[in-house]
Amino acid sequence: MAESGEGLGTVPEHERILQEIESTDTACVGPTLRSVYDDQPNAHKKFMEKLDACIRNHDKEIEKMCNFHHQGFVDAITELLKVRTDAEKLKVQVTDTNRRFQDAGKEVIVQTEDIIRCRIQQRNITTVVEKLQLCLPVLEMYSKLKEQMNAKRYYSALKTMEQLENVYFPRVSQYRFCQLMIENLPKLREDIKEISMSDLKDFLESIRKHSDKIGETAMKQAQQQKTFSVVLQKQNNLKFVKKMYNNDSIPGGRNEIVLKHTFEEEDENEEEGDEETFENYYRKQRKKQARLVLQPHSNMGYGFPVNRLFDLLFEIRDQYNETLLKKWAGVFRDIFEEDNYSPIPVVNEEEYKIVISKFPFQDPDLEKQSFPKKFPMSQSVPHIYIQVKEFIYASLKFSESLHRSSTEIDDMLRKSTNLLLTRTLNSCLLNLIRKPHIGLTELVQIIINTTHLEQACKYLEDFITNITNISQETVHTTRLYGLSTFKDARHAAEGEIYTKLNQKIDEFVQLADYDWTMSEPDGRASGYLMDLINFLRSIFQVFTHLPGKVAQTACMSACQHLSTSLMQMLLDNELKQISMGAVQQFNLDVIQCELFASSEPVPGFQGDTLQLAFIDLRQLLDLFMVWDWSTYLADYGQPASKYLRVNPNTALTLLEKMKDTSKKNNIFAQFRKNDRDKQKLIETVMKQLRSLVNGMSHHT
């Protein structure tokens, strides 16, 4: 009974649980299933049986439903299969239609893009035309300004500038060409001012030269004007009286006065620029000319001619200039003697400004350097510059008292200064360069000094211009010959550098002490040659301040001279015997020379240009080191010969010297003992070389 009671109570509970499982969310199934295990011991088994029965019921319902809808599903599949064929046909048709639409659309797209591009171009062209129409008047006015400047119509040019600035430039101010034109106008105004001042000076100078004729003409015209004015005044008085009676004089007079004032105001408004400056200058110069006119004529004191006195004064002036030139020659010599020929050092800003105040030197790179620093020129340069200015002052003192015009005084000063530069200073420089105690370092500094003195000549011209007020642009103005003066001195210094450098090389070469009979080389280059190369390296470091071509020429000249000296050493007539060991030792020295040439001691050489200075030695030594006589004799005279630079006479001379060492050097003794054919080969080579030498002499 108890079990049956429990079973009855359990069944409804299981049905409830199954309903919850079917109706609730899967996330809440856990607590529901847990309640099955929490009930009576056999509840789980019964629940599973109930669950299986429920599942079977659902399966039956599903099966009934599937049986009910199966025929409809089959019919739907059949219909789909029928539609499939039509769908494929439709897909093909759609694809084809899409392709044809795409093809047709491509042409439309291309034409549309062309239309868009044409519209953009049309809009751009319209914009450009509008802008050009805006800019063309400005360009035409500026071109008109240039034409007026070229035609020397300066007043019209000033008016055109005014119109450009006030009317035309504001319209196109956003363009770059307009800004350039605006920036150029002040320069044009300044040019007009300078040209006008120059014309005014020339005009005043012309007036001064023809003042007698001008005064005579002016007095005649003044007399005529006075006579005409008297007659005209009488006529005007009669007309005035008649008009007074007719009551027409007052209105007419007022109209004339109004018009006159109007025109005067317009003229005053048109006067621009530096009119006051020109007017004051003109008045000042005319007053000076008036004073000169009122003074007695220079060629008459008390009515007697004084032309001979002026001729005498000019002769005295020439003698005075000669005396000055002799005096300044001593001054220049003293400056050169006291110079240390090293760059001017400065340790602070005060010392730097002192040097700049004495000599016009400008170098932005040097200004940026920190102290202490050095000027490139030596102390003699500012001293010479100051003394040239002192010479100009001394020459001016005598010329001022001759009552000559400013143009003539300017010409006198320039000619005297040219004599000082071309004759006195140039002679002192050449004598200095040729002095024995002047070394390579001093010569390099002299070249640098002359370069800066040459650049300072333009400042000397400005100095003379400021004294005489004669512009350098005047046609007959004499130029200073600083360029030719210092160029000659530089050429002389460069030639002296080449000579002294070769002399120094000769001194080192004379220290050579070869053992010409050595059996084996020392394995290292000779000491004298290494000292010579070190000397050349140090001296070429000094040459870096010289112009590039000068340093390159000096380096090439030194290498060629060294090569020639070494070749002469080998071929010296007093040298009778040379061993193979000596040749090998000599080859080590030549290798060091070639290494020095390849190290580019002076920049600017292309490729192996410098090494070619030793090409004669190199081919000669290679021939004897390799003993390649067959190649030499076979290729002799051919442009592509390996030993093209080896002269047969040179090779024969050196081979004879080596043959004569057979008694002391065992190389030939070994030939005689072990292989007499080699000795015969040497004799054959010497015979062939002699034949080549004889052939060359006959050909010559």
Three-state helix/strand/coil letters over 573-593 = CCCCCCCHHHHHHHHHHHHHH
Domains in the chain (CATH in brackets) are: 313-495 (1.10.357.30), 548-697 (1.20.58)
Task: Quote the DSSP letter at residue 545.
Answer: G
What pLDDT does 252 receive?
38
What pLDDT does 566 receive?
95
How does strand 373-374 pair with strand 345-346? Answer: antiparallel
Judge if the upstream peptide bond of residue 364 is cis by omega within 30 degrees of 0.
no
Any idea how long the chain is? Answer: 700
- Judged against a pLDDT cut of 70, whether residue 315 lies above it is answered with yes
Convert 383-392 to b/e letters by CB count within 10 Å (16 or more is b). Answer: bbbebbeebb
**Using N-to-C axis directions, what is the helix angle for 43-150 and 2-23, rounded to 10°?**
10
What pLDDT does 123 receive?
92
- Judged against a pLDDT cut of 50, whether residue 6 lies above it is answered with no
Q: Which pLDDT tens digit goes with each residue over 136-166?
A: 888 898 898 899 888 888 888 888 989 888 8
**Of the ranges 63-77, 92-106, 658-672, which is most confident?**
92-106
What pLDDT does 262 receive?
39
Distance CA 194, CA 187 (A): 10
Q: In degrees to the nearest 10, what's the CA dihedral of 126, 128, 129, 135?
A: 150
- Judged against a pLDDT cut of 80, whether residue 55 lies above it is answered with yes
3-state class (DSSP) for residue 362: coil
What pLDDT does 585 receive?
94
- Of residues 423 and 670, which shows the higher confidence score? 423
Average pLDDT over residues 627-635: 89
Say if pTM beats, i.e. exceeds, 0.85. no
Cβ-Cβ contacts under 8 Å for 587 (sequence gap 6 or more): 521, 621, 625
Question: Which residue, chain included where needed, has tokens 């010959």?
Answer: 481
Least confident span in 27-36, 105-114, 419-428: 27-36
Distance CA 467, CA 372 (A): 37
Confidence of residue 327 (pLDDT cuts 50, 70, 90): very high
- Judged against a pLDDT cut of 80, whether residue 42 lies above it is answered with no
- Of residues 227 and 165, which shows the higher confidence score? 165
Cβ-Cβ contacts under 8 Å for 182 (sequence gap 6 or more): 165, 169, 173
Average pLDDT over residues 199-212: 75
Report CA-CA distances (Å) from 455 to 215, 360, 385: 47, 9, 11
Least confident span in 190-204, 322-336, 426-440, 466-480: 466-480
Distance CA 277, CA 279 (A): 5
The beta strand positions in 335-427, using DSSP E, are 345-346, 373-374
- Of residues 242 and 456, which shows the higher confidence score? 456
What's the start-to-end Cα distance of the chain, in Å? 158
Q: Which pLDDT tens digit goes with each residue over 289-308?
A: 666 655 555 554 755 677 77
- Of residues 683 and 329, which shows the higher confidence score? 329
Distance CA 20, CA 195 (A): 117
Average pLDDT over residues 353-375: 91
What pLDDT does 29 receive?
65
3-state class (DSSP) for residue 305: strand
Q: Which pLDDT tens digit goes with each residue over 514-536?
A: 999 998 998 899 999 999 999 99
Distance CA 116, CA 86 (A): 43
Confidence of residue 256 (pLDDT cuts 50, 70, 90): very low
Q: What is the mean pLDDT of the chain?
A: 81
Distance CA 204, CA 195 (A): 14
Cβ-Cβ contacts under 8 Å for 148 (sequence gap 6 or more): 154, 156, 157, 160
What pLDDT does 401 receive?
67
Q: Which pLDDT tens digit goes with each residue over 261-283?
A: 433 444 444 445 667 777 777 77
Tokens for 590? Answer: 């030549």
Helix, strand, coil percentages in the chain from 3-state DSSP, rounded to 5: 80, 0, 20
Report CA-CA distances (Å) from 672 to 444, 581, 664: 58, 19, 14
Average pLDDT over residues 496-515: 93
CA 346 and chain centroid, separation = 29
Least confident span in 66-70, 176-180, 248-252, 523-527: 248-252
Q: Which of 483, 455, 478 is nearest to 468 (CA)?
A: 478
- Judged against a pLDDT cut of 90, whether residue 40 lies above it is answered with no
Tokens for 696? Answer: 């060359």
What pLDDT does 291 receive?
64
Confidence of residue 385 (pLDDT cuts 50, 70, 90): very high
Report CA-CA distances (Å) from 74 to 62, 86, 275: 17, 19, 116
Convert 192-202 to b/e letters by CB count within 10 Å (16 or more is b). Answer: beeebeeeebe
One-letter amino acid for residue 271 of the chain: E
Q: Which of 359, 321, 392 is nearest to 459 (CA)?
A: 359
What pLDDT does 290 receive?
65
R_g (Cα) of the chain, nearest Å: 56
Distance CA 342, CA 524 (A): 37
